[in-house]
Structure 1
Amino acid sequence: MRSGITLIFGAIFVNQQALGEYGMAHFSDKGAKKGKDYCIFFNSQWAGLPQDLHKASRLQIHDLTSSVLCHPSEVPSEGFPNRIPIVLRGNCTFYEKVRLAQINGAKGLLIVSKDRLTPPAGNQSQYEEIDIPVALLSYADMLDIARTFGKGREVALYAPSEPVLDYNMVIIFIVAVGTVAVGGYWASSHDIKRRNMMKQKKKGAVKKQGVETLDVTSVMICVFMVMCCSMLVLLYRFYDQLVYLIIAIFCLASSVGLYSCLWPLVRRIPLGKCRIPENNLPYCHKRPEVRRLVLAAFCVAVSVTWGVFRNEDQWAWVLQDALGIAFCLYMLKTIRLPTFKACTLLLLVLFVYDVFFVFITPFLTKNGKSIMVEVATGPSNSNTQEKLPMVLKVPRLNSSPLALCDRPFSLLGFGDILVPGLLVAYCHRFDVQMQTSRIYFLACTIGYGVGLLVTFAVLALMQAAQPALLYLVPCTLLSSLAVALWRKELPQFWTGSGFAKDIPQPALVKVPINCTRTPPANYEPRGDEATNPSKDSPLVLAKGLPQDKTSRAE
């Protein structure tokens, strides 16, 4: 179940999208050159905004924040000549507000909202009638404007264009490729350790190690896909009811992953090796070491801290990414694909799943939206306004004023790391067994990096959400397959027959040819053994007749 939840939400790389557009309201005191930018949310179908602040008209504000501007009686006697009124949201439609503002001479309309900023929508005939911009401003920004500027304040509305690609793409690329490479290498090192234990005939240790991994079969892949599709549709239908369950599962799973990643480091510290006293507490009756309990408490504390402050966009994303990376590394260590056949089946099935829920579902939904995009970014009609945590998120690093708005992050799903990462781990294990100097591992990792760059390029060109596995799966599968064909090892690579057997074979020992052994005193040959003795007969051994030069050790 833990691995299933990982991939449900992950197979997409997407910048947050919305029906409306973000813009800026530059406020300043009358005649002042310097001012301050505030985020607004507008709909260009009412009227567009210039991209440059210097091309935007500075107009005086008419403060009507004590009114909702739904009736002509709320319009002052002088109207709004060459001004932009600020009114409260509520009691009537956007169209009724902006129509009253326009017929009374306003050059725009700012609507203050205490709720989440949503697109000021209307119908086509209303769009054609209105030719002034209408935008939403947050209530908190309105209070800051009232404190910062005097009564004669002015505003200029504009919508700066954002760069096609942001510098945060570099961070996402490094984090994703690094996690895949480290996870694949770590998972394979675990397999190497297990193999060495087998060679040393440490049967108890081998059995213990075997519990920590899970070999994926074809049946498990099919069941997993049914779970993925079902869970994604349930989230689409009942997002507000299930989102908190997913957040709780992520907190639990990520704390386990963080513990798994930090324990190899903590156990090198020569402190806290003493064990707790005997007790009957759950999970403590075996008297674990003090340092294990301290580490577990630390991991739980980090996870709970993120859970409490998850909506603090200034810094909570760092904790989410750290917990997400630890979770991905733990899953890559735990889940193992035994053959390239299983790798191909899993990647191709998720490839189809990803493309279907991103590109095909818009033709099947009533609102024409992708189910995957809606779930990954949070439905626009969600009452909770919570986001699913199964993504890496990095804030935008450009200097655009739009960084003030509520979409400063680019996202990469965990599935885009885990799914190709399982193939990378398989390639490294095959490298070790076949002693190929990690050529499969390097080729598959490079293929993953190339696929991610292709995803970035398509995202920049299309300016729409993309299913990353559409590009990652072909690049990783073809790169590893090409190496297998070039080295003429495709049969072994496909079936995994290059791996050592789990059960160590008994050793061979040499036995002298002319050894003699006295048969038992009470031994009597039976039947024709006296005239035609077998090679294992005590008579043969006693007479020193030729035998096989080697025999299995007992």
Structure 2
Amino acid sequence: MATHHARRLPAAAAAVLLLVLLAGGSAADDASSDDDAGVPPSPGCSNKFQLLTNYIAIAQRGECAFTAKAKIAQTGGAVGLLVINDNEELYKMVCSDNDTSINVTIPVVMIPQSAGKKMKGLLDQGARLEVQLYSPNRPVVDLSACFLWIMAIGTIVCASLWTEFVACEQVDERYNQLARKDGPNSGTTNREDKEIFEISAKGAIVFILVASVFLLLLFYFMSSWFVWLLIVLFCIGGIEGICLMITVLQMARLPNIRVASALLSAAFVYDVFWVFISPLIFHESVMIAVARGDNSGEAIPMLLRIPRFFDPWGGYDMIGFGDIIFPGLLVAFSYRFDRASKRGLFNGYFLWLTVGYAVGLFLTYLALFLMDGHGQPALLYLVPCTLDKEQLEFKEHKKR
């Protein structure tokens, strides 16, 4: 926990504190984006300043880059800088591409407009202010991550068991070698088959390629209106998203383990490439930028998000639909296979693949913690924990 106490300011220093720093500059040079345009001239970006040794400086947002404000305050001897926003929201202060080499060592904190007005009023009255900068520690594990873990596993299990509790008990003819095509249930089975989309190996590869193209479109063209368009098109949130994934896992089915291997292997490469390798080409992670909505300020409605309950910094924990659907297809396939081959809970595949998925998701959150919050490709951990487990089980049964 880092704290810092500023010196108590004499009344005569109040005007210096507010007016000495950061005047002038050009709005076009501000790294904070175009919404700084139109801000009236205020203490801003001039290099003409008085020394503020051991004081914390205050500056109004606007006129020049945040890094320029911080650099001038630091040059003047200030031990910190408070930037007063022009509204009640707290803007995300960033560096431009050319500012990353600037050596700024003092803390820079943005405060809401109302807090800035209150501080200015007190200083105008000659009050003495003491500022404490506090950086709270984040919890190791937030309750929201536990909820997401349970929701993801529950979605896969529910989708796998759905027909067991909702539909009539019928064994899929594809897995029942003894079923007669002219039996009494053949008509019902045919009607069910019409509602099921069976994934092929070729279709799996094409889907990954289309998903990559769509991800690039979101990366380059996603804006606020585009996000709202997606929201209208998908109309999904938390509960709706879970229902949608259950429906997808019911309608799309894997025919065999070979197609499952092709689909999950391609999804594995897709996830790793767009998270870890894409920064080498696009200078930032395309997957993370799209998931967070960096270009629009809104996250896409194709993931489950839960706000962090006990994190003083706020934010969300999230998991993409693909991280549930891709492994879920394999888990649902294993359940149908167990039913068709009349395997029990402990000597079949379904239970152990579900456990493997739970372990893989746990490893994902563990890696997220060890990497200090840097986005992780969940399929990097989920695919080995599910597909490899399935392959080992199949080899073991073949030996028997």
TM-score normalised according to structure 2 size: 0.78
Structure 1 residue 476, shift from structure 2 partner: 0.6
Contact 1:424 1:444 in 2 (8 A): yes
Structure 2 match to 1:137: 111
Structure 2 match to 1:393: 305
Whole-angstrom distance in 2 between the partners of 1:191 and 1:482: 31
- Picking from 289, 299, 302, the partner of 1:374 is 289
- Picking from 60, 71, 81, the partner of 1:109 is 81
Distance 1:328 1:56, change over 3 A: farther
Structure 2 match to 1:469: 379
Contact 2:219 2:290 in 1 (8 A): yes
Superposition pairs of residues 338-349 of structure 1, within 5 angstroms: 338-349=255-266
Structure 1 residue 134, shift from structure 2 partner: 2.6
Structure 1 match to 2:322: 415
Number of paired residues? 357
Which residue identity is paired with 1:123?
Answer: D
Distance 1:170 1:196, change over 3 A: closer
Distance 1:105 1:340, change over 3 A: closer
Structure 1 residue 230, shift from structure 2 partner: 0.8
Superposition pairs of residues 316-327 of structure 1, within 5 angstroms: 320-327=237-244
Structure 1 residue 220, shift from structure 2 partner: 1.7
Contact 1:172 1:412 in 2 (8 A): yes
Whole-angstrom distance in 2 between the partners of 1:86 and 1:437: 69
- Picking from 388, 393, 398, the partner of 1:483 is 393
User: Quick check: 477-486 or 139-148, which moved more?
Assistant: 139-148
Write the deviation string for residues 161-200 of structure 1: whole angstroms up to 9, x where unpaired.
Answer: 3234333322221111111111112156678645489886
Structure 1 residue 104, shift from structure 2 partner: 4.8
Contact 1:63 1:86 in 2 (8 A): yes
Alpha-carbon RMSD across the aligned residues, in angstroms, is 3.3
Distance 1:205 1:465, change over 3 A: same
- Picking from 414, 418, 431, the partner of 2:338 is 431
- 2:43 corresponds to 1:68: yes
User: Quick check: 98-107 or 197-206, which moved more?
Assistant: 197-206
Distance 1:333 1:123, change over 3 A: same
- Aligned residue for 1:411, secondary structure, equals strand
Superposition pairs of residues 148-547 of structure 1, within 5 angstroms: 151-186=127-162, 193-195=169-171, 201=184, 205-240=188-223, 242-251=226-235, 254=236, 320-365=237-282, 368-379=283-294, 382=295, 384-398=296-310, 400-403=311-314, 408-438=315-345, 439-463=348-372, 464-488=374-398
Which residue identity is paired with 1:479?
Answer: K
Distance 1:473 1:103, change over 3 A: closer
Whole-angstrom distance in 2 between the partners of 1:133 and 1:206: 67
Structure 2 match to 1:119: 94
Whole-angstrom distance in 1 between the partners of 2:61 and 2:169: 64
- Between structure 1 and structure 2, the one with the greater Rg is 1
Whole-angstrom distance in 2 between the partners of 1:423 and 1:148: 64
TM-score normalised according to structure 1 size: 0.57
Whole-angstrom distance in 1 between the partners of 2:234 and 2:118: 36
Unpaired runs of at least 5, structure 1: 1-50, 255-319, 491-554
Contact 1:66 1:88 in 2 (8 A): no
Which residue identity is paired with 1:172?
Answer: L
Contact 2:138 2:312 in 1 (8 A): no
Structure number with the bigger relative contact order (C-alpha 8 A, sep ≥ 6) is 1
Which residue identity is paired with 2:199?
Answer: V
Distance 1:467 1:101, change over 3 A: closer
Whole-angstrom distance in 2 between the partners of 1:148 and 1:176: 51
- 2:63 corresponds to 1:86: no
Whole-angstrom distance in 2 between the partners of 1:147 and 1:185: 64
Write the deviation string for residues 386-439 of structure 1: whole angstroms up to 9, x where unpaired.
Answer: 2112111222233x5323xxxx21111111111100001000000111000132
Q: Percent identity?
A: 33
Write the deviation string for residues 429-476 of structure 1: whole angstroms up to 9, x where unpaired.
Answer: 001110001321101101111111221222222222211111111111
Distance 1:135 1:223, change over 3 A: same
Unpaired runs of at least 5, structure 2: 20-39, 174-180
Contact 1:88 1:112 in 2 (8 A): yes
Structure 1 match to 2:25: none
